[in-house]
Amino acid sequence: MTMSFDEFGLAPGIRRAITDLGFEKPTPVQMRVIPFLMTADRDLVALAQTGTGKTAAYGLPILHRTDPANRATQTLILCPTRELCVQITRDLHAFAAHTKGLSIQAIYGGAPMDTQMRALEKGAHIIVATPGRMLDMLRRGRAQLAKVQHVVLDEADEMLNMGFQEDLEAILKTVPKGVRTLLFSATMQRQVAAIAGRYMNTPEEITIGERNSGSETVTHEYYMVHARDRYAALKRIIDVYPTIYGIIFCRTRLETHDVSSRLMADGYNADALHGDLSQAQRDRVLGAFRTRHLQLLVATDVAARGLDVTDLTHAINFSLPAEAAQYTHRSGRTGRAGKPGISVVLLNMREEHKIGILERVVKKRFAHKRVPSGREVCAAQLHALLERVRQVTVDEAEIAPYIGQIEAILSDLPAPEVLKRFVSLEFNRFLAYYKDSPDLNASGNSPPDRKAKGPPRERAAGEMTGFIVNLGDRNGLTPGELIGLVNRASRGPVFQFGRIQIDRDRTYFEASGGDPRILLDARSLPSYKGRKMEIRAFDPEQRPPRPNSRQSPRRDKRPAQ
């Protein structure tokens, strides 16, 4: 039965906010949870995948039940990461846009504690917090939970996986007896069940889909490759999906750094998210990814936890997680809000048995896919190029003065020849790269003594040319953004990057494989944050002065081969 939000009995101001946000029909979890929270007073355990609308499912009834005239904290929402904390707070503010006098405060690590303390002193009807920072506030006597009526544990399994069990239990011991506890989780792990049994009173259980299963909108695929070909196979998969927008999961920080560095050096629009980044760097990377200025995010499980990004097409497991249950969270980053997504697993021969384990975890069959051949990749890239040509908007008035010149220059070429040449401008690099490309499938018929050096794009870069650009640390430039700017100037991943050194007011970098004149022509260079790029050549044998430079292991390293 299809319901509407008007049938839930929510306050007029909340219904108006829902209409402003364009909400039309409740999601399955909202249809089950909202009526229960509006009419019953029991505790709740709700099992549903990420991206199914859980925040609105509990947030709308909680806002309806909150009394703005009572300055006491009435609801505490705990979640695993800063990003999710900020996202939940933002959503609740949007739902309460037409509810006067309601205070919602986010409390999380990585932000000034004194600012958050002052906010709590002013009063907060709803606190959204990460466990560690919330426990700090309680121990300092800055948060008062004596009048709390609702406690929400959002992504409870994630919080327990991240080691927050002791913090959670310490916080739950401070709330009044009889408080209503709402636990939301993607999986019902043993630790989650223990929390429910210890701190909840005969909770109602609502399960959307099968218990502990993956999202119904996600397709699961795996590729069998030799360990030495894992990175080359990753690039084939990326190239065969020209519009890919996804997360590549690695098991360790070192692997994350290695994969992201190699992708950026090979010209892909990628960057890394791992624990070595400062909060400012993390915010910059996530900001670029959320706005799709970054196409691929390479991350560890810890770094990606609580990451709320919609419309991801792929979650790629470059390596499998330590625990099979964590795969559910990885794959759940795509296929959100009912949209289709693909979860990809790269396996070597010794890991083949793990597919059966994963199938039991997500209760779905995995499709065995063959790594695309070079010909298949080229066909996919050509199709994408032709679709872009088809969708180009022609400004007839602007181009009209040049039509005569175009026709005069190309008059000796027949129309099919003109078409081939224009396509080749963009497409030749893929044809050259994948010419004579080997079969990467571990179960394929390639000879066992096949050389592992791979196609040209995977071999050592040629002679490097040095460049200096008039952008640096003060402009917020990162290696990934620099590579993206150069690629836009050269209309594709033509250049292979070597050393990158970012100083305060300028950046030195080495590159090979493309025509240096492209980068020295100011007319072809894009702007960055309102400042026009200027690039000049520099002798790579000379080391540039390094005033106020900021280095990372990634920035002063030749591309991994």
Give the torsion sign (CA, 477, 478, 480, 483).
Answer: positive
For residues 392-412, average pLDDT: 90
* CA geometry: angle 305, 289, 470, nearest 5 deg: 130
DSSP state at residue 365: P
Q: pLDDT-derived band of residue 444, with 50, 70 and 90 as boundaries?
A: very low
DSSP characters over 457-496: GGSPP-S-EEEEES--GGGT--HHHHHHHHHHHTTSS-PE
The class level of CATH for 218-373 reads alpha beta
45 beta partners = 183, 205
What local confidence, expressed as pLDDT, does residue 494 receive?
63
Res 549 pLDDT > 50: no
At residue 443 the predicted structure's pLDDT band, cuts being 50, 70 and 90, is: low
Of the two residues 64 and 266, the one the predictor is more confident about is 64
Taking 70 as the threshold, does the pLDDT of residue 38 lie above it?
A: yes
What are the structure tokens assigned to 363, written together? 């209760």
Task: State the Cα angle at 427 between 404 and 493, rounded to 5°.
Answer: 110
Per-residue pLDDT band at 460 (split at 50, 70, 90): very low
CA distance 552 to 170: 38
347: pLDDT strictly greater than 70:
yes
- The stretch 536-559 carries a mean pLDDT of 48
Domain boundaries defined on the chain: 5-207, 218-373, 376-433, 460-538
pLDDT tens digits along 171-189: 999 999 889 999 998 777 7
Whole-number pLDDT of residue 500:
83
Q: What are 497's strand-pairing partners?
A: 511
Q: Given a cut of 90, is residue 70 above it in pLDDT?
A: yes
Class of domain 5-207: alpha beta
Which pLDDT belongs to residue 305? 64
Q: 77: closest CA among 116, 57, 35, 107?
A: 107
Q: What is the pLDDT of residues 485-526, one digit of tens each?
A: 887 777 655 677 777 888 888 898 888 766 777 777 777 788
pLDDT tens, 195-227?
Answer: 888 889 889 999 886 554 456 788 999 999 998
- Residues 385 and 401: their CA atoms lie apart, in Å, by 26
Distance separating alpha carbons of residues 516 and 467, to the nearest angstrom: 9
DSSP 293-308: SS-EEEEEHHHHTT--
pLDDT in tens, 247-294: 999 988 889 989 999 999 888 999 998 877 777 888 888 889 988 999
Q: What residues have CB less than 8 Å from 110, skipping those under 6 apart?
A: 82, 279
Mean pLDDT calculated for residue range 119-145: 94
Which tokens go with 422?
Answer: 């224009």
- Could you name the CATH architecture of 460-538? 2-Layer Sandwich (3.30)
**CB under 8 Å to 522, separation ≥6 — which residues?**
532, 533, 534
Which pLDDT score, from 0 to 100, does residue 561 have?
A: 31
Distance CA(242)–CA(339), nearest Å, equals 19
492 against 103, higher pLDDT: 103
* Same fold across 5-207 and 218-373: yes
Q: pLDDT, tens digit, for every residue of 290-332?
A: 889 999 999 988 766 656 677 899 999 999 987 777 888 788 8
- How many percent of the chain have pLDDT more than 90? 39
Q: In what order do the strands lie in the sheet with 367-369?
A: 270-273, 296-300, 246-250, 314-317, 341-347, 218-224, 367-369
Q: Are 502 and 550 in contact (CB under 8 A)?
A: yes
The dihedral formed by the CA atoms of 398, 403, 405 and 406, expressed in degrees to the nearest 10: 110
Question: Quick one: pLDDT at residue 446?
Answer: 35
Tell me how long the chain is.
561
**What is the average pLDDT score of the chain?**
83
**Quick one: which H or E segment has residue 316?**
strand 314-317
